Structure 1
């Protein structure tokens, strides 16, 4: 999704395309970190441990995302803020929406 949005924004200039690429990359990196931290030693028999890892993973994701946006604002001159945050939100939320949509369709069968 990140690459498609970045490529679609290239006609509007390199600034919006770069902002889309950075926003999507930050969201993807946060998601990958959370997945790695939660499911590295997954055992269904230990729900308390899983819940603890989920909370820790969310805190780590928050720190990574904050550092990513901080790095972007420190190094990129005049980033396209709406594109940056819009792509971040899209990459972060579209998979959740899609899973909800698919599971709702499955429940109708």
Structure 2
């Protein structure tokens, strides 16, 4: 009778161990699914990150091109401004000379003016 009791006890322990093993196996399966999902998410995020980095690089390079174009345009405009300032000074000098000549010609009597007044 004691052997039967011991067998029954052992049988229940085996059943309990099998149930515990089944629970652990189910839990392990769930954890493996979570790990697989996390790996997929990681790969997706990694690809998105690479794509965003490429977009930033493209954006930065296009900004560099725009910046270089603006710099060239500014240099051209500054050269044009210098040229116009130089030309303006030349015209100002010519204008002053012509005004002096005009003032001088008004101040001097004309030849033959005496003959006209007679």
TM-score after normalising by structure 2? 0.27
Of Structure 1 and Structure 2, which has the larger fraction of its residues in helix?
A: 2
TM-score after normalising by structure 1? 0.29
Choose 1 or 2 for highest CA Rg.
2
